[in-house]
Structure 1
Amino acid sequence: MLRRLLVPTSESPGRGRPVITTTTSRPTGHPGYSETLPREPESAGTARRLVRAACTAWGLERLAQDCALVVSELVANAVRHARRESIRVVVERTAPSTVRVAVADFSRTVPTLCPPKDDEENGRGLHLVTALASNWGTDVRRWGKVVWADLEERG
């Protein structure tokens, strides 16, 4: 079952473009949540709300803050480096205590972990993702890429 919710334009981030939220039921396991958002900095807030709502629905509130921080960094990277006008944020529960947050965009350029220089404002986001996630990576597709991070709730 696929359900779509069209958020009214006045509540959408960016320049009045609609946000499409999708919840996908699966034959087994927990539903996944996703939204297509404009490739704009304001979309990070919508992505954080989606992640927090998913974690709450799954009873994983202790992961919500870290997942929100990670998705903010992934959205920021997509906004800065991707092409086209939209990105897709996906939140899935891949195991009983594991949440995967992912951002898909239309660039095939893979993010790299580089040592930031002391005088630079940027370049620390993937270090933060590495510190918070149990694993992260990039899946290259013919149309672009999906950058994902797995976060685990610890006892």
Structure 2
Amino acid sequence: MLETPLRRRPEFYLCAGPTQSRVLPCELESAAVARRLVAAVLDRWELPELTERAELIVSELVTNAVLHARTGGASVRVVVTRVHGDRVQVAVTDLDQRPPTLVEAGPDEERGRGLALVAAVSESWGCERRAWGKRVWAELARS
């Protein structure tokens, strides 16, 4: 009897459009899922040179939302948008209206460098308040 190979179900079903998004639980483990989502999207869009920076960005934004947004265990939304050609925007939305704060962490501090890293590896970044929360985003492009 011939055995058929088992097909692994894909972790993400990606649509054909220029935007991919997922709602994830507001917990630290969601940063890893968000990194895998970003990698899958950029692979599909044939932009692998953006993957490392985009994974860093989404990981920091999700972690910030989990640690600092006072949402009572609600969810976060991760959105990856192909803005134009080789320009991509990565955004994380949460239910806390307080904007993130870019701080200068001291050399002995273990935390506080997330947004500085986002600013360093992105072309631009920002925060948009919503009636129900905020959206923090960063854009990347091929060099």
What interval of TM-score do these two structures reach, taking the shorter chain for normalisation?
0.7 to 0.9
Partner of 1:60: 47
Q: Is the 8 A contact 1:67 1:151 kept in 2?
A: yes
State the alpha-carbon separation in 2 of the partners of residues 109 and 24 from structure 1. 32
TM-score (norm 2): 0.86
Q: Is the 8 A contact 1:23 1:32 kept in 2?
A: no
| C-alpha distance 87-22 of structure 1, shift in aligned 2 (>3 A) | farther
Q: Is the 8 A contact 2:93 2:134 kept in 1?
A: yes
State the alpha-carbon separation in 1 of the partners of residues 53 and 106 from structure 2. 24
| Residue 102 of structure 1, aligned match among 88, 91, 100 | 91
Q: Which has the higher contact order (CA 8 A, sep 6+)?
A: 2
Partner of 2:66: 79
Report how many residues are paired.
132
Q: Report percent identity of matched pairs.
A: 47
| Residue 142 of structure 2, aligned match among 142, 150, 153 | 153
**Which range moved further: 57-66 or 112-121?**
112-121
Correspondence 1:139 to 2:121: no
State the alpha-carbon separation in 2 of the partners of residues 137 and 31 from structure 1. 20
TM-score (norm 1): 0.80
Once the two structures are TM-superposed, the CA of residue 22 in structure 1 deviates from its matched residue by: 7.5
Once the two structures are TM-superposed, the CA of residue 120 in structure 1 deviates from its matched residue by: 1.5
State the alpha-carbon separation in 1 of the partners of residues 51 and 107 from structure 2. 30
Deviation beyond 2 Å, 4+ runs, structure 1: 21-25
**1:15-74 alpha-carbon deviations (Å, 9 max, x no partner):** xxxxxx68565xxxx421111000000000110011001111111000011100110000
State the alpha-carbon separation in 2 of the partners of residues 71 and 94 from structure 1. 16
Structure richer in strand, relative to its length: 1
Q: Is the 8 A contact 2:30 2:62 kept in 1?
A: yes
The residue type paired with residue 34 of structure 1 is S
State the alpha-carbon separation in 2 of the partners of residues 127 and 71 from structure 1. 13
Once the two structures are TM-superposed, the CA of residue 141 in structure 1 deviates from its matched residue by: 0.2
Aligned partner of residue 126 in structure 1, secondary structure: helix
Q: Which blocks of at least 5 consecutive residues in structure 1 are unaligned? A: 1-7, 13-20
| C-alpha distance 24-146 of structure 1, shift in aligned 2 (>3 A) | farther
